[in-house]
Structure 1
């Protein structure tokens, strides 16, 4: 633990970390709920790598920076648990072995079981199941069509995940039902932003019922698929393997919630990142022209495949820089399992923690001119993202996003296809478009664009 100890440790061990200023009763709740990344950045700049905040009845300690990222991923991996904070969601879902809410053997087994399903290599034969849904959607658009960016992107990503991971076609209503169900559970049980009475609203009740039917259908269709299709191992096959090998980890509700995992981990993170990219390109004509020219050059005589994806260097830089500036997974909620020193303070067993994993994304020493949007940071010779544990858009530690590599590739595919087929302009004044946290960050629902088909 020497990397975490500081010269101030002894003198500060009996002191409390600085507390972020807030309002009576609600504390910092308003700032945290409305603009959590901005709030954490401001407090990190003001107080350093350790500080506290109060939000209503809860007090949390924030740990920030590369040292805590390294510690979580290395010698300190057993000093943190997700079971307390995420346990509220686990209990609300009645899913005792929810993968994101368990540690140790239960988490390690599930992660090992499913990891191969989310590797880029696993999609070599299924790449068309990511490409075809967005290609058909974009080809159906007529000149002058206007869309609300949020629902438009969620529908595309949900359909892609349904086909590529779960082998089922997901329609617009099912996408809306899933998002309503997911976000209600997260905001009620995990974040505590919404009251439990929300669970009685007709919209949630019927959305949850229809989502349950969809997940049941996914399992039944996987089991009953024709013998020829059973030569390839599916995501649901791996879950059924887990049910057989470790029935202690897979109740019926566990099977249902883990069936949702690809949608939970994909729809808003990928859709949200692309919404930020569209917003950025609408304000930067030079950048937009540059990435469009690259897409046209790479895809001129070849379809989108693994080789052409690797040649979309500017698009990949655009995606990675967007994830630096507008990270979707910006912090991790944990609880300390034992005492340890960090930043001159003693973190006590049982302390509720928020690990601000992306704190260094705006540090001049790691990302020169950090307020400048620069898509060349991620290539030779700069490779600024490889400087230690400072670039962390997918979290750190044992619970790092299981599909990080696939999510990046998925986002590159969707951005490239959008730029290849469509021109777009804002259909609403951009100054009225804001970042909203629902709970994942996304451009606000009033964000609309008007499409024009490109002549290619």
Structure 2
């Protein structure tokens, strides 16, 4: 990004007197392509640099696309309060909903219909729902991880995606897939290709006509058919009780076959981007530097287990362990899966002195302040102590926003706050892991959201041998 900073300086000099105080500033770009070269390579870093240079609102032009960026705590406050009705999330997701023949996909709705579905499913994806099944989640985490053999090197990205999907399936349906795992992975690949093509425009639409995508589609269809038969046969409580209730309360939102089919796979997608990506980055942070952070967190978890007869304490207690919670918060700060969200201006509005017209494409850059030294001291450092006294960072609660802001805030955020530390605690207590290539620094990729490449590998060393707790001696 050094060359980018030099170009920014030259760009500033050329445009210093070219705009009035009321005009919206424009991000750095080159002829024809605009900002596309930097957006495709490292969009988060580019947007952070432009936010620092241009302020809370600016326009980005990238090839044939043009959008307005609202950034930082001010933008988060606007989206949460006076601007709640100014930004619509549905139009961005509509091409996916149309392809899936699911016109009432929750993500593609706004207004009362969107609020109705959030109310319907809120409890199924809540912290309480997770913590009620915490013991089952521990067993699921151990079972999925124990499928590996000692010495095996696994893709952290693929493993965390499967693990988190299994956990959420367990919470929402009472069980998780133990067969058809190849189809299960194809389901995620099927969605990944559609997101990169239909929504983000990173891949040409012809990608959805290739033999490889069609193969993913066939496997995904097989998985959905299998899940539908299983769920219709077993009638599990939780998510599908809510689906049945929703069909009665809001029949127009479950009117098509596509509206119903999405319910059989939606639990596998909820939270995967945020939680699985965060766990992938946590594996890297914990296991690097001779496992220094891993050893520190393990001492905290072991001490908590010793105080509970050798078992992990409740999910609520695990969530409050200071080092563990600090590590999760830092991963969400430095490596936010959803670092920004696309919106459409639902009406004309003015933000930070600039006018935004109805219908304009908007990028709500919710995590712009995550590396701002005004809110986080030494912001690029992974520091698990910054959130506790006496520092209590950040001073502005709107400066830490890994789950989005506004009406489309991540519905599973509360669940994630318990799911992340409990998963770490199970790893630390029961398994031995190490980086497969400790000297290799993998570059962050955006595919479709912030993550590490599939080649980022972790070596499974085996299950940890725990000494049995010493029995208490009565006086």
TM-score > 0.5, shorter chain as reference: yes
Distance 1:206 1:451 in 2: 30
Equivalent position to 1:89, from 88, 96, 116 = 96
Is 1:254 the counterpart of 2:263? The answer is: no
Is 1:134 the counterpart of 2:141? The answer is: yes
CA-CA distance at 1:189 after TM superposition: 1.1
Q: Are the equivalent residues in 1 in contact too, given 2:288–2:438 (CA < 8 A)?
A: no
The residue that corresponds to 1:410 in the other structure is 419
CA-CA distance at 1:89 after TM superposition: 2.1
- Superposition pairs for residues 259-298 of structure 1, below 5 Å? 259-284=264-289, 285-298=291-304
The residue that corresponds to 1:178 in the other structure is 187
Distance 1:74 1:26 in 2: 35
Equivalent position to 2:248, from 244, 253, 273 = 244
CA-CA distance at 1:307 after TM superposition: 4.6
CA-CA distance at 1:69 after TM superposition: 0.7
CA-CA distance at 1:270 after TM superposition: 1.4
CA-CA distance at 1:381 after TM superposition: 4.5
Structure 1 residues 178 and 386: CA distance shift in structure 2, 3 A: farther
Q: Are the equivalent residues in 2 in contact too, given 1:98–1:258 (CA < 8 A)?
A: no
TM-score for both structures, normalised by structure 1 = 0.90
SS in 2 for 1:244: helix
Distance 2:342 2:68 in 1: 10
CA-CA distance at 1:432 after TM superposition: 4.7
Equivalent position to 1:388, from 382, 397, 406 = 397
Q: 4+ residue runs of structure 1 moved beyond 6 angstroms?
A: none
SS in 1 for 2:68: strand
The residue that corresponds to 2:169 in the other structure is 162
CA-CA distance at 1:266 after TM superposition: 1.9
CA-CA distance at 1:173 after TM superposition: 0.8
Distance 2:186 2:313 in 1: 31
Residue by residue over 1:153-203, the C-alpha shift from the partner in whole angstroms, topping out at 9 and shown as x without a partner, is 222222222222234432431331111111011111111111222222233
Structure 1 residues 145 and 267: CA distance shift in structure 2, 3 A: same
Structure 1 residues 307 and 428: CA distance shift in structure 2, 3 A: same
Equivalent position to 1:76, from 56, 63, 83 = 83
Structure 1 residues 206 and 286: CA distance shift in structure 2, 3 A: closer
SS in 1 for 2:265: helix
Unaligned runs of 5+ in 2: 1-19, 467-475
Superposition RMSD in Å: 2.2
Q: Are the equivalent residues in 2 in contact too, given 1:81–1:337 (CA < 8 A)?
A: yes
Structure 1 residues 311 and 305: CA distance shift in structure 2, 3 A: same
Q: Are the equivalent residues in 2 in contact too, given 1:88–1:190 (CA < 8 A)?
A: yes
CA-CA distance at 1:382 after TM superposition: 3.7
CA-CA distance at 1:211 after TM superposition: 2.3
Unaligned runs of 5+ in 1: 1-10
Equivalent position to 2:37, from 26, 30, 35 = 30
The residue that corresponds to 1:455 in the other structure is 465
Structure 1 residues 408 and 350: CA distance shift in structure 2, 3 A: same
The residue that corresponds to 1:310 in the other structure is 319
The residue that corresponds to 1:321 in the other structure is 330
Q: State the number of aligned residues.
A: 440
Equivalent position to 1:189, from 194, 198, 205 = 198
- Superposition pairs for residues 195-214 of structure 1, below 5 Å? 195-214=204-223
CA-CA distance at 1:318 after TM superposition: 0.2
Residue by residue over 1:286-333, the C-alpha shift from the partner in whole angstroms, topping out at 9 and shown as x without a partner, is 323211111121123123533541343211110111100111111110
CA-CA distance at 1:137 after TM superposition: 3.1
Q: Are the equivalent residues in 2 in contact too, given 1:80–1:334 (CA < 8 A)?
A: yes
SS in 2 for 1:132: helix
Is 1:225 the counterpart of 2:219? The answer is: no
TM-score for both structures, normalised by structure 2 = 0.87
Distance 1:72 1:205 in 2: 39
Q: Which 10-residue stretch deviates more, 50-59 or 375-384? A: 375-384
Distance 1:193 1:86 in 2: 15
CA-CA distance at 1:280 after TM superposition: 1.4
The residue that corresponds to 1:435 in the other structure is 444
Distance 2:430 2:275 in 1: 19
Structure 1 residues 192 and 225: CA distance shift in structure 2, 3 A: same
Q: Are the equivalent residues in 2 in contact too, given 1:332–1:355 (CA < 8 A)?
A: yes
The residue that corresponds to 1:331 in the other structure is 340
- Superposition pairs for residues 89-128 of structure 1, below 5 Å? 89-128=96-135
The residue that corresponds to 1:152 in the other structure is 159
SS in 2 for 1:299: helix
Residue by residue over 1:15-72, the C-alpha shift from the partner in whole angstroms, topping out at 9 and shown as x without a partner, is 2x22222233332223212211111111111211111112221111111011111111
Q: Are the equivalent residues in 2 in contact too, given 1:99–1:258 (CA < 8 A)?
A: no
SS in 2 for 1:378: coil
